[in-house]
Amino acid sequence: MTTTAVAKKDGGGELIAGYTRDQVDLIKETVCKPKKRAATDNELALFLHQCRQVGLDPFSGQVYAIFYGDNMSIVTGIDGLRILAERTGNYEGQTPTEWCNDDGDWSEIWTKQSPPIAAKSGVRRKGGGEPTYAIAHWKEFNKGDGNWKSMPVHMLGKCAEALALRKAFPAATGGVYTPEEAPAEKPALEPLATDDREQAAEIDAEIKSVSDLIEKTYPGKVNAKALARERAAAKTVAQKEKLRGQLEKKFEALSEDGDGEQDEG
C-alpha cells in the first residue's frame, strides 16, 4: 500500500492526503494516536490514504488506528463493514448469529454462563443463493479482558459477522478489520528481580563458555552473529536456559560426530 507525501499549501499550511494541518492535528489527537508518542506524518498519510480508499470518515468515528509498538492496524466498527457492504448494492443483510457448544450443537440463543466455543454468521447477497458463512472460534479471538469478559457472546458474534462480510464482499472490505479481531497487545517483559539477574548473569557466562568451547574444538560451527542476536533476544531466565540447552546439545552432537580438532603427537 502506498502513502501520500506531505505537501505544502499556499500560505504556509500543510496538507496530508488533502487534509489541512488543523484536521491532521485533530486526527493525531483522537483516532490515530499511539499510546506513548505522536503519530508520524507518514503514519498519518498511510491512515488517511486507507480512509479514502475504503470511503470511511475518520471524523465521524467510522475508522481509526490501533498501534502495537511501531505497527499500525487500521480498523472500523462492525457498522463500518456493513456500510462498505451496503455500498456495493448487493448486500441483503445477514442470517441470525449462531453459537456452538462443546458438543458441536449450534443455537441462535446462548444461555450458558460459560462462553461458546464458536460463533457463526452468514451474509446474504442479492440474487439469492446460499448465504456466505464464516465461523469465529473462541480460542482464536478471546483476549480475556474488557468486553471479552463482560460480553463474550456478543464479541464473538461480531467477529463471525466481520469474517463473513469480508468473505462475501472481498473487494469492498478486504484489509479492513474490526477492533474485536485485532490481536491483543503483548505485555512488556517485567524487569528481572535481583536474584533472577544474578542467575541470568551466570547462565550468560555458561552460554559464552559453551560457545567458546564449540568454536575452539569445532571451528566454524557457531555463527557468532546469529548467536549474538539470540543472546540479545533472550531476556528472561527461561529464555537464557533454553539457549544454553540448545548450545549444549549442539556440542554433544558434534562430539558424537568426532570431527573436531585432534591433538597432534
User: Is 261 within a domain?
Assistant: no
Q: Are residues 100 and 171 in the same domain?
A: yes
How sure is the predictor about 169, in pLDDT bands with cuts at 50, 70 and 90?
very high
Residue 252 Ramachandran class (φ > 0 left, ψ -120 to 50 alpha, else beta) = alpha
Share of the chain above pLDDT 70, in %: 85
Per-residue model confidence as pLDDT tens digits over 54-109:
888 888 888 888 887 778 888 898 999 999 999 999 999 999 999 999 999 999 99
Q: 171 or 262, which is more confident?
A: 171
- Identify which of 161, 155, 182, 183 has the alpha carbon closest to the alpha carbon of residue 173: 161
* 121, containing H or E segment: strand 118-125
Last residue of one domain, picked from the residues 43, 72, 101: 72
Q: Are residues 153 and 202 in the same domain?
A: no
What's the structural domain count of the chain?
3
What is the pLDDT, as a whole number, of residue 92?
95
Q: 77 or 12, which is more confident?
A: 77
> Is residue 15 pLDDT above 90, yes or no?
no
Cell matching residue 225: 552473529
What is the pLDDT, as a whole number, of residue 258?
65
Alpha-carbon radius of gyration of the chain: 27
> Is residue 147 pLDDT above 50, yes or no?
yes
What is the pLDDT, as a whole number, of residue 41?
80
User: Is 187 within a domain?
Assistant: no
User: Is 264 within a domain?
Assistant: no
> Is residue 165 pLDDT above 70, yes or no?
yes
User: Is 211 within a domain?
Assistant: yes
Which structural domain range is residue 226 located in? 194-255
Q: Are residues 68 and 18 in the same domain?
A: yes
User: Is 82 within a domain?
Assistant: yes
Determine which of 50-59, 118-127, 178-187, 216-225 has the lowest per-residue pLDDT on average: 178-187
Q: Are residues 212 and 240 in the same domain?
A: yes
Q: What is the mean pLDDT of residues 195-216?
A: 78
User: Is 265 within a domain?
Assistant: no
Determine which of 6-20, 45-59, 126-140, 206-220 has the lowest per-residue pLDDT on average: 6-20
Contact 186, 147 (CB under 8 A): no
How sure is the predictor about 44, in pLDDT bands with cuts at 50, 70 and 90?
confident
Contact 140, 117 (CB under 8 A): no
Q: 164 or 185, which is more confident?
A: 164
Q: Are residues 47 and 129 in the same domain?
A: no
Last residue of one domain, picked from the residues 72, 101, 135: 72
Averaged confidence pLDDT in the chain? 81
